[in-house]
Amino acid sequence: MTDKLIIFDTTLRDGEQSPGASMTRDEKLRIARQLERLRVDVIEAGFAASSNGDFESVKTIADHIKDSTICSLSRANERDIARSAEALKGANSARIHTFIATSPLHMEKKLRMTPEQVLEQAKASVRFARNLVGDVEFSAEDGYRSELAFLARVVEAVIKEGATTINIPDTVGYAIPELYGNFIKTLREMVPNSDQAIWSVHCHNDLGMAVANSLAGVKIGGARQVECTINGLGERAGNCSLEEVVMAVKTRRDYFGLDVGIDTSQIVPASRMVSQTTGFVVQPNKAVVGANAFAHASGIHQDGVLKARDTYEIMRAEDVGWSANKIVLGKLSGRNAFKQRLQELGIEMESEGEINTAFAKFKELADRKSEIFDEDILALVSDESVTA
Ligand code: KIV
Ligand code: ZN
């Protein structure tokens, strides 16, 4: 088992399935270039068989992006898989991702197939894909709601057919971290040839646990690939967010003991690009990439951070692509933060008494105005009454 965690980004495929987030070929190529700068291991560029437009997007990305593996999704049938292979021809490193549902509910109500038919179709699809490319991922759609014994049979069989990555999605975001982690662990133990493939997790965020579930799949289950999207973009409540999972593994390397190849300084630029392209605004308190993720408003926190940043910061804003952390001046700010901002603005005060007078005026203003900007401070100190 490798101790590298593979980051598989599906912003351009599952992310795009978010209602209202559809992207043009050129927009997708721009984002793919940013994902390459981010050093994502695998970029799922689209679902080539789903439309001519998506075929062209996958093909363009495969032709231009050379440092990441380029992947195309396909249902478990020859037409879809052949279309993916065609679109991926120009790639340096190509992956075909094929999937079929394995839960009783999906097999019976959606596919209207028996488990044996699903098993045979999964095997035939992986066999067909392996004749076209060397890197084949198999996903058991709705895997987490599947019966373990049947799922184990499918996984064992597709590994025998040559699947190199096995992905167990929590398609509907139903999992709980500990249960999902144990599900992956048990399944791996039940599959005799489990060590012949990389295990992957793919979690949706319907109960707000996509990141926690993915991390449990890694820590408890032994998965070594996480499927995720920038800003957690994705259908319904979204997918596992790339920035959160990457920074969790990096920040808590003591716990996970895994390396990720991501250039984290490209995270915020990637987040902004995806947000601007799709029109999906990032909430201010979103971890890592939200505008307030490294902002301090309370006086106690500001004082702490000014003395030693790690008092209230577990990551560096600069490490994820922000220019700096942010001290937001307002009614909760203390004298220390105010004094520091005066220095940054090049305002020299002759005595502590003068600072006290300015600080009192600042507090007065802050009671009337939720955030005090640099311009407010400049106006405040140019007011003669401050220095009088
Ligand atoms: O959520 C899901 O099950 C998927 C598969 C197609 C991988 O997106
Ligand atoms: Zn999905």
Task: Return d(Cα 146, Cα 158) in angstroms, integer.
Answer: 16
What's the 286 CA to ligand 2 centre distance in angstroms?
21
Q: Give the closest residue to 169 by CA, choosing from 208, 123, 223, 88.
A: 223
- Ligand 1 pocket, residue 225 CB under 6 Å: no
Q: Which residues pair with 101 in a beta bridge?
A: 141
- Ligand 1 pocket, residue 130 CB under 6 Å: no
Cβ density class 85-103: b for 16+ within 10 Å, e for less = bebbeebebbbbbbbbbbb
- Ligand 1 pocket, residue 171 CB under 6 Å: yes
- In which residue are the tokens 């009088």 written? 388
Q: Give the closest residue to 201 by CA, choosing from 162, 239, 160.
A: 239
Is the CB of residue 338 less than 8 Å from the CB of residue 329?
A: yes
Q: Give the closest residue to 91 by CA, choosing from 65, 68, 55, 62.
A: 62
Is the CB of residue 9 less than 8 Å from the CB of residue 40?
A: yes
pLDDT tens digits, 156-174: 999 999 999 999 999 999 9
Q: Of ligand 1's atoms, which has the minimum distance to the CA of residue 73?
A: 6
Q: Of ligand 1's atoms, which has the minimum distance to the CA of residue 10?
A: 8
198-203 and 165-170: which strand pairing?
parallel
- 186: exposed, middle or buried (Cβ count in 10 Å: 0-12, 13-18, 19+): middle
How many CB atoms are located within 10 Å of the residue 19 CB?
7
How many CB atoms are located within 10 Å of the residue 260 CB?
22
Task: Return d(Cα 159, Cα 363) in angstroms, integer.
Answer: 66
What's the 137 CA to ligand 1 centre distance in angstroms?
12
Q: How many helices (H) and strands (E) does the chain have?
A: 16, 10
- Ligand 1 pocket, residue 98 CB under 6 Å: no
Task: Return d(Cα 355, Cα 202) in angstroms, integer.
Answer: 55
pLDDT of 31 reads 98
Task: Return d(Cα 250, Cα 227) in angstroms, integer.
Answer: 16
- Ligand 1 pocket, residue 139 CB under 6 Å: yes
Tokens of 222: 């032994």
Amino acid at 355: I
Tokens of 1: 């088992």
C-alpha distance from residue 254 to each of 108, 319, 346 (Å):
44, 18, 41
pLDDT tens digits, 263-311: 999 999 999 999 999 999 999 999 999 999 999 999 999 999 999 999 9
ipTM: 0.99
pLDDT of 387 reads 43
- Ligand 1 pocket, residue 72 CB under 6 Å: no
Task: Return d(Cα 320, Cα 241) in angstroms, integer.
Answer: 14
What's the 234 CA to ligand 2 centre distance in angstroms?
8
Q: Is 382 helix (H, G, I), strand (E, B) or coil?
A: helix
What's the 254 CA to ligand 2 centre distance in angstroms?
29
Read off the DSSP letter of residue 141.
Answer: E
C-alpha distance from residue 226 to each of 41, 71, 233, 243 (Å):
10, 14, 15, 12
Which numbered ligand comes closest to the C-alpha of 140? 1
Amino acid at 370: S
Name the residue at shortest CA distance from atom 7 of ligand 1. Answer: 139
Tokens of 344: 């940054």
Task: Return d(Cα 341, Cα 338) in angstroms, integer.
Answer: 5
pLDDT in 10s for each residue of the chain, 388 residues: 459 999 999 999 999 999 999 999 999 999 999 999 999 999 999 999 999 999 999 999 999 999 999 999 999 999 999 999 999 999 999 999 999 999 999 999 999 999 999 999 999 999 999 999 999 999 999 999 999 999 999 999 999 999 999 999 999 999 999 999 999 999 999 999 999 999 999 999 999 999 999 999 999 999 999 999 999 999 999 999 999 999 999 999 999 999 999 999 999 999 999 999 999 999 999 999 999 999 999 999 999 999 999 999 999 999 999 999 999 999 999 999 999 999 999 999 989 999 999 999 999 999 999 899 999 999 999 865 444 3
Amino acid at 148: L
42-46 and 295-296: which strand pairing?
unpaired
Tokens of 282: 């990032």
Q: Of ligand 1's atoms, which has the minimum distance to the CA of residue 14?
A: 8
Which numbered ligand comes closest to the C-alpha of 171? 1
Is the CB of residue 387 less than 8 Å from the CB of residue 355?
A: no
- Ligand 1 pocket, residue 128 CB under 6 Å: no
Task: Return d(Cα 365, Cα 373) in angstroms, integer.
Answer: 11
Is the CB of residue 197 less than 8 Å from the CB of residue 161?
A: no
pLDDT of 18 reads 94
Q: Give the closest residue to 217 by CA, choosing from 180, 249, 245.
A: 180
